[in-house]
Amino acid sequence: MSMTEPRSTDAAAHSAPSSTSLKVTLPTLQEKKRCHVPISALTAYDFAMARLVDEASVDLVLVGDSLGMVMLGYESTLPVTMEEMLLCTRAVRRGVRRALLAADMPYASYHEDASQGVRNALRFVKEAGAEAVKVEGGRNRVELVARLTDAEIPVIGHLGLTPQSLHRMGGYRVQGKTVPAAEQLVEDALALEAAGTALLVLEGVPREVAARITEELSIPTIGIGAGPECDGQILVLHDLLNLSFAPAAKFVRRYGDAASLIRNAVEAYRKDVETRSFPSDAESYHLSAEARGNFVRGGAARAAVAPATIRQPRKA
Ligand code: KIV
């Protein structure tokens, strides 16, 4: 058990600077699009990271199913379960105050039919505190989007390189590279918007295609590997921090090297333990001077009377 000082839970201790302290809502993001103010988004999967991302005033925090790969070590996002997503979303919920919090619906949680999707999406809102859910797909998700919207669950769409379509795509490939494929993406985007989608993630699509979709839609687009014209950008936090143990994709910019930071810190700790330089006297608890005297005298007296009995094994 950690004996670290209890966390402060009051609002003042976890509030962003005043200019960025207002709670982000969907209308906030809509307004950002209208005013051409870029939207920042990142993934988070646990309390500590969520809190740091939120304190940095990122607008949208997504509990992505990418957690399957970067947190759980799966080969793809396909094995991720509802229970894994709910557990992480609850942890992130406890760390996020300001940002809009969205959760990814994992593979097979909405693929049977729209009713299954609504049932599972409701769990994200009721049991984990999500403010929106994200689903992958285009025109084939129109009924689901309409049903979720009808159930008061804001929906984030996801088009282009959709990792849950890994097998159909035959790998993680940029999508919409031919004119017909690009036109299909535009049609998908328009259909999702018409069905009630609140935001649209565009992943792994040519910049020109994302730019046209962003222009044609009135809802904000959030790009990842989709160029700078999107209304906002999202990255997987672990990619940004060099914690994903994979070569960075073209669109990833590394903003820090948490892997080196953690490796160096852990190695320094191990060396200090091995050389007995940790813990120091200052890092140890102490008896009061009076108790110490009595304790040391008592031990010495017991050792003088019956040294062996002290170490007698207890009878069962
Ligand atoms: O799962 C995820 O992290 C995502 C984002 C990359 C958009 O879907």
How many Å lie between the centroid of ligand 1 and the Cα of residue 100? 15
How many Å lie between the centroid of ligand 1 and the Cα of residue 65? 6
Kindly report the three-state secondary structure assignment for every residue of 224-288. Answer: ECCCCCCCEEEECHHHHCCCCCCCCCCCCCCCCCHHHHHHHHHHHHHHHHHCCCCCCHHHCCCCC
pTM of the entire structure?
Answer: 0.90
Picking from 253, 198, 190, the residue whose alpha carbon sits closest to that of residue 24 is 198
pLDDT digits (tens, 9 = 90+) for 83-98: 999 999 999 999 999 9
Tell me the best of 43, 203, 240 to mutate to test the pocket of ligand 1, counting ligand atoms within 8 Å of each CB and taking the most.
Answer: 43
Per-residue tokens: 100: 């809009």
Pocket lining: 43 vs ligand 1, CB cutoff 6 Å: yes
* Residue 203 is among the residues annotated as catalytic for this protein: yes
Pocket lining: 240 vs ligand 1, CB cutoff 6 Å: no
Residue nearest to atom 4 of ligand 1 (CA): 64
Pocket lining: 236 vs ligand 1, CB cutoff 6 Å: yes
- Contacts by residues 172-179 (CB-CB < 8 Å, ≥ 24 positions apart): 172/204, 173/204, 174/204, 174/205, 174/206, 174/225, 175/204, 175/205, 176/205, 176/206, 176/209, 177/206
pLDDT along the chain (316 residues), means of 10: 49 44 96 98 98 98 98 98 98 98 98 98 98 98 98 98 96 97 98 98 98 98 98 98 95 98 98 98 97 91 70 52
Pocket lining: 54 vs ligand 1, CB cutoff 6 Å: no
Pairing of strands 132-136, 100-104: parallel
How many Å lie between the centroid of ligand 1 and the Cα of residue 130? 15
Furthest-apart CA pair in the chain: how many Å? 94
Cβ contacts of 95 within 8 Å, gap of 6 or more:
44, 46, 47, 48, 49, 50, 51, 53, 54
The whole-number pLDDT of residue 304 equals: 87
Domains of the chain: 13-254 (3.20.20.60), 286-316 (no CATH)
Answer for the pair 226, 214: CB distance below 8 angstroms, yes or no.
Answer: no
Pocket lining: 226 vs ligand 1, CB cutoff 6 Å: no
The whole-number pLDDT of residue 311 equals: 54
The whole-number pLDDT of residue 21 equals: 77
How many Å lie between the centroid of ligand 1 and the Cα of residue 67? 9
The whole-number pLDDT of residue 157 equals: 98
> Which amino acid is it at 102?
A
Catalytic residue (one of 136, 203, 216, 283): 203
Picking from 133, 89, 140, the residue whose alpha carbon sits closest to that of residue 114 is 140
Pocket lining: 50 vs ligand 1, CB cutoff 6 Å: no
Ligand 1 atom closest to Cα of residue 234: 7
Ligand 1 atom closest to Cα of residue 65: 1
Pocket lining: 224 vs ligand 1, CB cutoff 6 Å: yes
Q: What are phi and psi of 232, to 5 degrees?
A: -155, 175
